[in-house]
């Protein structure tokens, strides 16, 4: 499977995301923010960083990059899209996901290994996890507080669209401890923590993050809903 990894001016984690794709057995395809062609990829990763210097709001300028027009159209047709940290912010700015990310409650940049609970295993990126699996991946953000109005939060909860929830402490003040969400179709997922930094025990807290990439690449995003399997790199509760 060919997975596009987008680089915007200010992106930091595109190399890491591409490495995660390769670790999972896929082909990483570099996409530039000015591209008008997705080069025939099967899925897209919007990696972390500080696109366009985080001017205006995080992700607000990147949302209008030429490549995003192609990604929005492809996502609406069902292509799997994963937004990590700044990528999550871009997905919200592009209205592929609801809500927004704001300054951390502490007003400080947070960088630490973070516990997460996987609460939705029916997305294109989480089908390899056991229900309610608890994983550890790094978090590093200054504007990672997820917010939305109460009606939107209730809808996300009621529709099972909260994918990841912080456990062992909320690092940024996100409403209802939300760390990641999905769209209604389950093909677009955004999260603030960095799974691409937890794919090798030599360079991360473990390999829990690899499960997001292997879920897509090993099983394919067209797997029927409801067929769940435990990821060998995660621990179920």
Whether 234 and 199 have beta carbons less than 8 Å apart is answered as: no
Tallying the residues shown for the chain, one arrives at 237
Q: Which of 92, 196, 221, 231 is catalytic?
A: 196
Q: How far is it, in rounded angstroms, from Cα 76 to Cα 80? A: 10
Is 197 an annotated catalytic residue?
no
Q: Which of 85, 92, 119, 231 is catalytic?
A: 85
Is 194 an annotated catalytic residue?
yes
Q: Which of 194, 197, 221, 231 is catalytic?
A: 194
- Which strands form 43-46's sheet, in the order they lie side by side? 27-32, 2-7, 43-46, 81-84, 188-191, 178-182, 162-167, 110-118, 134-141
Whether 139 and 193 have beta carbons less than 8 Å apart is answered as: yes
Contacts of 117 by beta carbon, 8 Å cutoff, 6+ apart: 132, 133, 134, 164, 165, 167, 237
Is 95 an annotated catalytic residue?
no
List, by residue number, the catalytic residues: 85, 194, 196
């Amino acid at each position: 499977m060919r997975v596009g990894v987008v680089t915007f001016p200010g992106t930091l984690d595109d190399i890491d995301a591409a490495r995660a794709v390769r670790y999972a057995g896929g082909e990483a395809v570099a996409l530039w923010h000015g591209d008008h062609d997705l080069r025939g990829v099967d899925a897209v990763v919007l990696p972390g960083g500080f696109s366009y210097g985080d001017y205006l709001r995080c992700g607000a300028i990147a949302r209008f990059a030429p490549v995003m027009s192609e990604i929005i159209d492809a996502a609406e047709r069902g292509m799997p899209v994963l937004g990590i940290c700044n990528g999550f912010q871009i997905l919200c700015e592009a209205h592929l996901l609801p809500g927004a990310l704001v300054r951390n409650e502490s007003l400080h940049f947070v960088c630490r290994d973070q516990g997460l609970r996987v609460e939705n295993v029916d997305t294109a990126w989480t089908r390899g996890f056991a229900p309610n699996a608890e994983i550890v991946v790094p978090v590093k953000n200054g504007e990672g507080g997820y917010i939305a109005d109460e009606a939107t939060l209730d809808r996300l909860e009621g529709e099972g669209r909260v994918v990841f929830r912080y456990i062992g402490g909320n690092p940024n003040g996100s409403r209802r401890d939300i760390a990641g969400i999905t769209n209604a179709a389950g093909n677009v997922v955004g999260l603030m923590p960095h799974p691409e930094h937890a794919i090798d025990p030599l360079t991360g807290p473990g390999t829990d993050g690899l499960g997001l990439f292997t879920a897509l690449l090993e099983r394919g995003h067209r797997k029927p809903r409801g067929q769940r399997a435990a990821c060998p790199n995660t621990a179920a509760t």
